Structures are given as C-alpha cells and as structure tokens.
C-alpha cells in the first residue's frame, strides 16, 4: 500500500511553510489539495505557493485548469491519485497538502464517484425550478428520489441539491450510492496531520493575510481575469476574496466593505474547516507550541518514524 502524508488545517494556519520544510527533509513532493489553487491566474487570492517555493520542491495540481472550467472533487480525486502514483514511481514521498477537506477525504478514502458529469441543459432547468418554485420545492423533489442525500442537504444549499438531482436524472441512481460503493479498506497507508493555532492567533493571521493580498495586487488580479472574459459567475470567481472584489469592481460595495467581508467570511470559513477536520482521524499539532518551523517538522518526522514498521 502506497504511503501518503497529509498536512491539513484551516486557511492561514501555516500549512505551506511546514509542508515545504517537511518535503525537503523527507525527500517528498507536494500535491496541493486546494480547490482554488487548481485554477490558472488565481494566484494572490488563493495564496498559491510562489515560483521560488515551487522551485524548491516539486508541486502538483497547481494551475491545471482554466477559471471557466467546472473542476469537481471527482476530477481532483483522479488527478491527485495519478500524481501520487507518479511520485511513488520515482521513489519520492507524496505529501497531500491543503485545506479543502472534501478533496482530502475523497483521495484518502477512495470515494466512488458517479460517471455522470455536468449536464448544462438539465442543470439550467433545475435552476429555473429553484428560481420559480423555490429551493424547498427542489429539495422536495430530491427527497422523493434520494432521501439519504436530501436528509444531509439543507434546502438552501441549492447548488448541491441540483447536483444530486442532476446525477439521479441522468442515471436513475442516487448520488448517495457513491458511499455504498466506496472502498471499506484504506486506499493508502496514510498519516494525517491537522495544524492549528489558538483561535485569536489564527484570526489575526487571517486578517493580516487579507491585507497582504490587497497590497500584493489582488484587485488588479481580479480585474485582469474579468478583462480576459472570465465570467463573474464562474465557479472559480465565486471563491473567497474573488467574489468580494468583483462586487467592489461592479460598484456594488466599497473597497473597505469588500475587505471587511473577505476577512469575516474567511474567519467563518476557517471555523468550518476546523469543524470538518474534527470528524477525521488526524493528529492535531498546535503550531504555536513550536518556536521554529524546523521544530514542528522534526516532531512530524519523529512521529512518522515511531509508527513505521520496524
């Protein structure tokens, strides 16, 4: 079974720096598990590793799709699995690094995904139902054909309700059956670490990161993407930071309000990430307990040695 190290945690906690140092120490390569860093051109707002960092250690699954594309978790699972196998073939150790919990779970657990992709015509019809009859009516339709999925989704989560109906209407098989088809045994010999910091420290780092992104040119980055013809409604452009700056550029809100919303929404996002990761079997490490990155890297390395077969 292939070994896999996972370095997860909330946004702005410091995953990238730790993973970079760990990869150097262990002779590893990094597979990004970030749902925004996969998009070309979305660099500043996604906190994508710099060219200098990428030159130090090979990175995978950065800049692999255009912003207009609808990149799914199933796409990521396929691409990440291929990258991990390729890294092992070259005798290196893969490190899956990021904060997108569903991406990490899909890879580690080997979720079985439906073969049916996006059906734009069907999706458009379902969106019209949601607009004319309301999200509750759409959710009721899902409850009739896939009660298990409907029970897990709030009626206002229209995007996921539509996706579940889209899958069922194309293949007459509930999307909930994916869970039944998912392997019961581990796909990888994986060790998962979740990096944390005390909540006040994490929130301060988030606010400092947002300020740094603005100073680094986030507004110009978004303006350039829109000038290239990227739709403001594209999935990538609805990501944290991009959505709020678009609203500013469209004169819907002030820059001050946009920055405030990015900070607020990012704090909320970090809270959701922590809630997600608490449901996983992970080793939790508080970065604040270590004065240097090298110390936490050594801690992780020692732990990996302790659990390795003698």
Q: 200 and 138 share a domain?
A: no
Nearest to 34 by CA among 85, 102, 92: 102
pLDDT band at 272 (very low <50, low <70, confident <90, very high): very high
Mean pLDDT of 268-273: 97
Q: What is the DSSP letter of 28?
A: E
Q: 84 and 140 share a domain?
A: no
Please check the confidence at residue 115 and state whether its pLDDT lies above 90: no
* Spatial contact of 197 and 286, defined as CB atoms under 8 Å apart: yes
3-state secondary structure of 94: strand
Q: Name the strand (E) or helix (H) holding 252.
A: none
Q: 244 and 297 share a domain?
A: yes
Tally of structural domains, the chain: 2
Q: 196 and 293 share a domain?
A: yes
The sign of the torsion formed by the CA atoms of 10, 16, 17, 19 equals positive
Q: What would you measure as the largest C-alpha separation in the chain, in angstroms?
A: 63
Tens digits of per-residue pLDDT, 31-56?
999 999 999 999 999 999 999 999 99
Write out the two tokens for 251: 């004169």
Mean pLDDT of 133-155: 92
Write out the two tokens for 232: 């403001």
What is the pLDDT at residue 36?
98
- Which has the minimum average pLDDT: 55-69, 181-195, 269-283? 181-195
* 32 vs 240: CA distance, rounded Å: 18
Q: 106 and 172 share a domain?
A: no
3-state secondary structure of 3: strand
Tens digits of per-residue pLDDT, 60-71?
999 999 999 989
Q: 196 and 298 share a domain?
A: yes
What is the pLDDT at residue 260?
98
Please check the confidence at residue 300 and state whether its pLDDT lies above 80: yes
Nearest to 59 by CA among 47, 67, 68, 50: 50
What is the pLDDT at residue 103?
95
Please check the confidence at residue 310 and state whether its pLDDT lies above 50: no
Q: 205 and 267 share a domain?
A: yes
Q: What is the DSSP letter of 36?
A: T
Q: 154 and 299 share a domain?
A: no
pLDDT band at 178 (very low <50, low <70, confident <90, very high): low
Domain that holds residue 194: 3-111+183-307
What is the pLDDT at residue 110?
86
Q: What is the CATH number for 294?
A: 3.40.50.300
3-state secondary structure of 140: helix
User: Given 136, 166, 181, which residue is the final one in a domain?
Assistant: 181
What is the pLDDT at residue 184?
59
Tens digits of per-residue pLDDT, 118-143?
677 888 899 999 999 999 999 999 99
DSSP string, 152-207: HS-TT-HHHHHHHHHHHHHHSS-TTHHHHHS-SS-SSEEEEEEEE--HHHHHHHHH
Please check the confidence at residue 307 and state whether its pLDDT lies above 70: no
* Spatial contact of 33 and 97, defined as CB atoms under 8 Å apart: yes
Q: What is the CATH number for 143?
A: 1.10.20.140
Mean pLDDT of 2-20: 97
Q: 128 and 189 share a domain?
A: no
What is the pLDDT at residue 221?
98
Nearest to 22 by CA among 188, 193, 202, 186: 193
Tens digits of per-residue pLDDT, 217-251?
999 999 999 999 999 999 999 999 999 999 999 99
Give Cβ neighbours of residue 27 (< 8 Å, ≥ 6 apart). 92, 93
pTM, two decimal places: 0.82
User: Given 162, 181, 200, which residue is the final one in a domain?
Assistant: 181
Q: 106 and 242 share a domain?
A: yes
* Spatial contact of 236 and 242, defined as CB atoms under 8 Å apart: yes
Q: 96 and 232 share a domain?
A: yes
Q: 148 and 80 share a domain?
A: no
Q: Report the mean per-residue pLDDT for the chain.
A: 92
* 241 vs 259: CA distance, rounded Å: 8
User: Given 181, 211, 233, which residue is the final one in a domain?
Assistant: 181
């Amino acid at each position: 079974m292939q070994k896999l190290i996972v370095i997860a945690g909330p946004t702005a906690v410091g995953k990238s720096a730790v993973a970079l140092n760990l990869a150097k120490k262990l002779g590893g390569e990094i597979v990004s598990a970030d749902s925004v860093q996969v998009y070309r051109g979305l660099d500043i707002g996604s906190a994508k590793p710099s060219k200098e960092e990428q030159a130090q250690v090979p990175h995978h699954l950065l800049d692999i799709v255009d912003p207009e594309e609808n990149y799914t978790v199933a796409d990521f699972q396929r691409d990440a699995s291929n990258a991990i196998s390729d890294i092992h073939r070259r005798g290196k150790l893969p490190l899956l690094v990021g904060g997108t919990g569903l991406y990490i779970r899909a890879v580690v657990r080997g979720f079985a995904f439906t073969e049916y992709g996006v059906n734009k015509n069907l999706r458009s019809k379902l969106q019209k139902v949601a607009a004319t009859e309301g999200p509750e009516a759409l959710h009721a339709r899902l409850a009739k054909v896939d009660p298990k999925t409907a029970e897990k989704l709030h009626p206002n989560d229209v995007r996921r309700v539509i996706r579940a109906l889209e899958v069922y209407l194309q293949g007459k098989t509930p999307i909930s059956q994916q869970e039944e088809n998912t392997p019961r045994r581990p796909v990888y010999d994986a060790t998962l670490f979740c990096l944390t910091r005390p909540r006040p420290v994490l929130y301060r780092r988030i606010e400092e990161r947002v300020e740094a992104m603005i100073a680094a040119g986030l507004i110009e980055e978004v303006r350039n993407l829109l000038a290239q013809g990227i739709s403001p409604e594209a999935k990538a452009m609805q990501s944290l930071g991009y959505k709020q700056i678009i609203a500013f550029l469209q004169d819907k809100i002030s820059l001050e309000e946009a920055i405030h919303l990015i900070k607020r929404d990012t704090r909320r996002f970090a809270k959701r990430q922590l809630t997600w990761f608490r449901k996983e079997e992970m080793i939790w490490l508080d970065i604040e307990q270590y004065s240097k990155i090298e110390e936490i890297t050594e801690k992780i390395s020692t732990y990996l040695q302790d659990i390795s077969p003698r």
